[in-house]
Amino acid sequence: MNRARLFGIVITLFLLAMFFSISACSSTSTGPTTITVNQVKPSVQSVSIVNTGTSGNYYAILDITVRNAGADGMVIVVGHVTQGGQTTTSQMPAYLTANSKQVIRMVMPLQWGAGQATAAAEVQIP
């Protein structure tokens, strides 16, 4: 019985020594770790508008050029068309690749004879 008890104590001491040596190795941190995450960095480069259609079906076609100076990612492109004091807004999700430009096309309804239409756009990060 003494040999079994001695063997148990030796094994326990060995396991404790291993635990403390592993703990001592993993606690050599010198401070907080900073992780840098690259994000999409979109901006609207240009917006062009073309009106098309007839009295019953009159539309504005927006070509919105979006530039991404960051990493790949999803954005929401928001287009605005103002005509006769009324503003119509439309949103479209788009996946932008890193360091590239992309043209997003939106078609929005207009009213025939309501005056000149103007367009604007913005990009949002969801």
**Total number of domains constituting the chain:** 1
- Domain span at residue 111 reads 42-124
Would 7 be classed as within a structural domain?
A: no
Would 81 be classed as within a structural domain?
A: yes
pTM score above 0.75 = no
Q: Which amino acid, 55? A: S
57, with CB counted inside 10 A (0-12, 13-18, 19+), is exposed
Cα 41 vs. chain centroid, distance in angstroms? Answer: 8
Residue 82 has pLDDT above 60, yes or no: yes
Residue 27 has pLDDT above 70, yes or no: no
Residue 101 has pLDDT above 90, yes or no: yes
Q: If you average pLDDT over every residue of the chain, what do you get?
A: 87
117, with CB counted inside 10 A (0-12, 13-18, 19+), is buried
Q: Which two tokens stand for residue 67?
A: 């530039």
Would 72 be classed as within a structural domain?
A: yes
